[in-house]
A and B are shown apart, each in its own frame.
Chain A
Amino acid sequence: MALLQIAEPGMSAEPHKHRLAVGIDLGTTNSLVATVRNGIAVCLPDETGRPMVPSIVRYRANGAIDVGQVALAAQATDPRNTIVSVKRFMGRGLKDVAHVETMPYDFEESPGMVRLRTIQGVKSPVEISAEILRVLRLRAEASLGGELTGAVITVPAYFDDAQRQATKDAARLAGLDVLRLLNEPTAAAVAYGLDNAAEGVYAVYDLGGGTFDLSILKLSRGVFEVLSTNGDAALGGDDFDHRLFCWMLDQARIAPPSSEDSRRLQMKAREAKELLTSCEEAPIQLRLGSGEAIDLAISRDQFAELTRNLVQKTLGPVRKALRDAGLAPEDIKGVVMVGGATRMPHIQRAVAEYFGQEPLTNLDPDKVVALGAAMQANALVGNRKADDEDWLLLDVIPLSLGLETMGGLVEKVIPRNSTLPIARAQEFTTFKDGQTAMAFHVVQGERELVSDCRSLARFELRGIPPMVAGAARIRVAFQVDADGLLSVSAREMSSGVEASVLVKPSYGLSDDEITGMLRAGVERAGDDMAARALREQQVEADRVIEATEQALAKDGELLDAAERDQIKVVIAQLRSLREGQDHRAIKTGIEALARATDEFAARRMDSSIRSALTGHKIDEISV
């Protein structure tokens, strides 16, 4: 018997056609799945009522694969085959992964993405993540009583193309249809309904188990734009536990504990930390393996003092992110807290002090990202009313996309901050007579010169019918889907020959690179304009010289020797000007050559008309 959920007025689905959609927060430490049920976003718990799945996958010798809590328990006994924090490896090469040497895994470098050797063979991070996603999918299907139409999966705002693509691939492998990838801070903002709130700039403070991220989002006309992100990949709630753990060792004056004792002490530390969120004091009592008893208590203030510098450490990235966005703390309209660690009262206090306002904390910070993703998924499969359409959230392109043109210049096809998805086409033409192939170089960045932008892909269009320069019409279409993945195609309009490329860079841009390139784009705008003007004139000079020389070779007999020499002198002058840096001088040279060849051009015209008319009777050519 199917169980029914309450639909929005007029939105009851046809029987057997319920569009079940979920949001998934695929976290470094924990993952969650959520859905909108009876109009409310809720996280879907497992049989024991736990909503969070530890993002841990263990490959066992017998071919079984454990995910989550079960795998967590094996972390100490089978570290090599128990993969934690696989998210850090998504779309990354070995050299990009920090602290490889301290990790217990057997890495294998392979092009594009690092792989891990396990007892069940070599696994890519995509496959490992897919195991976590599969568990979440099965849980959702059991909870919702049907197959999923699609899922929205969240990714950090700083994830580049390669990391996003890897996440999408993992979802596909897990049997999920990805409706969209959504930035984690955006999802959190959606869960708080900020997309319906007044326009403005919001900060999302995300302190997870092992990572800290701060994002500055700008909301305008229903579009969230990520202005800047910053963070610390090695700072999280676990560090607070560790501080407390060290304090316990120090207070109880115990020798370095066995690994079993150490594990239990750490668990006690975590419990005490969580207790201090609601109580003023937390007792810490346990008996060690040696029989020695530990009986301590810690107050909230003591704990705050103990971890004060950790809290301070999070404010560094906050400052940097604001600086990158060119904003001051008072420009922030609201602060969203994400991640279980933000429950700690002294963190909330520090954030409130810094921004001069109370942060938003009324939603469960562990769940808020998944809830926002579920709301987005629900809207994307059409479970909301038409008049709520504005609600559909849009992401934007962080950097302009364009093509290299002659002279190493960038022709921007899609400007930065365009909303996704988007398709734009532009026509290009051939540069030389009889040109039958064209090379395309797709670049990303704000600068005018290709060398200052990032190269994304190259492809060639062959089989263009030979034509005079400028006659071929080649339509180049850029298409960016809702997840920010780009495909480019080129088509010669008269013959229909076509070539295309799906941009799947092995490494995309890091957040630092993006902000760096953006800043450079603004600061260097003046230089760029001059450089562009120079290149344009150089290209034009080359074109004019080539055309003139071709004409001389073909119709040189129309001029006498002196006239020919005169033109050659002007060409030589232009050649030497072209090597210089003054675009105005080159322009003058081009004009001089144009003047010098006026007479020649006129004679060529006459001669071609004469040859066209020769042998024809008057009435044949009358119109």
Chain B
Amino acid sequence: MGVTLSESAAKHVANYIAKRGKGVGIRLGVRTSGCSGMAYKLEFVDEALDEDLVFDSHGVKVIVDPKSLAYLEGTELDFVREGLNEGFKFNNPNVKDACGCGESFNV
């Protein structure tokens, strides 16, 4: 199981890392904050930590810390376009409810 990227997300991530010029992959995580309890974290990774779990998805390294994984198990990160806006979206089966805009959530 673990955490995966959609094909389109993987393509974009690989592209951003290439343009950025450094980085080994991306980090998906959660932290406690926001109006519905938790919020997603999405960051470039320059160096993975020892306790990190590393998944390979369409050739991109997805790095998750063990605590976050409990809340992210089975999540697929997708890249979507909405009107002029475009960006990443977490499809997380663990979420019970989320705030109106989906930036923070509850499990």
Contacts and interface: CB of A to CB of B under 8 A. Distances in A.
Bound pair (A, B): yes
A12 B34 CA distance: 13
Given A15-B104, A39-B44, A144 B85 contact: yes
Given A15-B104, A16-B35, A3 B86 contact: yes
B41 A15 contact: no
B101 A2 contact: yes
Contacts of B6: none
Greatest chain A CB density within 10 A among B13, B39, B87 is at: B87
Interface string B72-98: 000000001011111111100000000
Given A3-B82, A3-B87, A142-B85, A15 B44 contact: no
A47 interface: yes
A143 B88 contact: no
A38 interface: yes
Nearest to A140: B84
Contacts of A40: 16, 19-20
A40 B88 CA distance: 15
Contacts of B99: 15
B44 A8 contact: yes
A16 B27 CA distance: 20
- Majority-rule SS of A interface residues: loop
B103 interface: yes
Nearest to B16: A38
Interface in A133-176: 139, 142-145
B31 to A, nearest CB: 8
Q: Interface size class for chain B?
A: 20 to 34
Contacts of A615: none
A243 to B, nearest CB: 38
A4 B20 contact: no
A10 B41 CA distance: 9
A5 interface: yes
Contacts of A139: 84
A424 to B, nearest CB: 40
Interface residues of A, number: 28
Interface in A1-22: 1-12, 14-16
B83 A142 contact: yes
Contacts of A11: 43
Contacts of B89: 1, 3-4
A371 interface: no
Contacts of B83: 142
A498 to B, nearest CB: 44
A110 B14 CA distance: 56
A44 B84 contact: yes
Contacts of B46: 9
Contacts of A145: 82, 85, 87
Contacts of A39: 16, 19-20, 44
Contact of B84 (A4, A9, A15, A47): A47
Contacts of A14: 33-34, 39
A6 B35 contact: no
A368 to B, nearest CB: 15
Interface string B2-38: 0000000000110010011000001100010111000
Contact of B85 (A6, A16, A143): A143
B42 A16 contact: no
A295 B25 CA distance: 55
Most chain B beta carbons < 10 A, residue from A9, A16, A38, A44:
A38
Contacts of B103: 2, 15-16
B88 A5 contact: yes
Contacts of A10: 43
A16 B34 contact: yes
Contacts of B54: none
B85 A9 contact: no
Contacts of B53: none
Contacts of A6: 13, 16, 26, 42-44, 88
Given A9-B27, A14-B34, A38-B16, A3 B80 contact: yes
A143 B43 contact: no
A3 B43 contact: no
Nearest to A3: B87
Contact of A5 (B19, B39, B42): B42
A8 B19 CA distance: 13
Interface in A30-55: 37-40, 44-47
Contact of A15 (B16, B19, B39, B45): B39
Nearest to A38: B16
Contacts of A16: 34-35, 101, 103-104
Contacts of B90: 4
A5 B87 contact: yes
Nearest to A139: B84
Contacts of A46: 84
B59 interface: no
Contact of B41 (A12, A37, A44, A142): A12
26 contacts: A1-B89, A1-B102, A3-B80, A3-B87, A4-B40, A4-B88, A4-B90, A5-B87, A6-B26, A6-B43, A7-B42, A7-B43, A9-B44, A12-B31, A12-B39, A14-B33, A14-B34, A15-B35, A16-B35, A16-B101, A16-B103, A16-B104, A38-B12, A40-B16, A40-B19, A142-B84
Interface of B: 12-13, 16, 19-20, 26-27, 31, 33-35, 39-46, 80, 82-90, 99, 101-104
Given A4-B87, A4-B90, A37-B87, 16 more contacts: A4-B40, A5-B42, A6-B26, A6-B42, A6-B88, A7-B43, A9-B43, A9-B46, A14-B39, A15-B104, A16-B104, A39-B19, A39-B44, A44-B84, A145-B82, A145-B87
The 9 closest A-B pairs by CB, nearest first: A3-B87, A15-B34, A15-B103, A1-B102, A143-B84, A15-B39, A38-B16, A15-B104, A2-B101
